[in-house]
Amino acid sequence: MSTETGNHNSNSKVDSAASHMVWVDCEMTGLDPRKDCILEIACLITDTELKVIDTIELVIKRTEDILKHMNEWCVVHHTASGLVDRVRQSSTDIAEADNRLLEFVSKHLPPGTAPMIGNSVYMDRMFILNELPKFNHYLHYRIIDISSLKELCKVYNGDLYQKVPKKRLKHRGLNDIEDTLEEFRFYRQHFLKTDSNASDE
């Protein structure tokens, strides 16, 4: 049984080879999409050589009642990172964020051609499905989860896993997705070897 979470364009380039990659990281009030919500979303667009083409980072205005009901982890880390203050100062509501994200991706790629990529990105996708429907529908329904590569590397090449770049743990959208991109560059060079990148070592 499948649930539609994005564009199923039958002419999608992703069926052969996507020309762009859409990297996403959200910061939320918790991990339950039924009651929690997005506070911040960062998005990078790269080409398939992982060159960054464009970036966007949006902090969403939320009520004090929403902030008051964040889980303990979020209260501690989102306060320390400055995100809570940024949320209070923001004038961007979730509907405007959806429109701006749609405008952002539509400048660079046609609908239904790029998968969403990130660390444990299935979680981001559930929140995006709930709160950012225009942005969600524009992307391909497939996701690429870098966390899966991490687990495979841990199992099949433990020595290499010890060399995976450490994350900065800033718990801000743009910092986190930049770290994810850097992590994937490492896997691409050392774990997902091809004739073209094996010679770079």
176-189 pLDDT tens trace:
999 999 999 999 99
Number of domains in the chain: 1
Catalytically active residues are 141
pTM here?
Answer: 0.86
Pairing status of strand 116-118 against strand 20-28: parallel
40 touches 59 (CB < 8 A): yes
Q: How many CB atoms lie within 10 A of CB 160?
A: 14
Q: What is the CATH number of the domain that holds 22?
A: 3.30.420.10
Cα distance between residue 184 and residue 114, in whole Å: 17
Residue 78 lies in a domain: yes
- Average pLDDT for the chain: 90
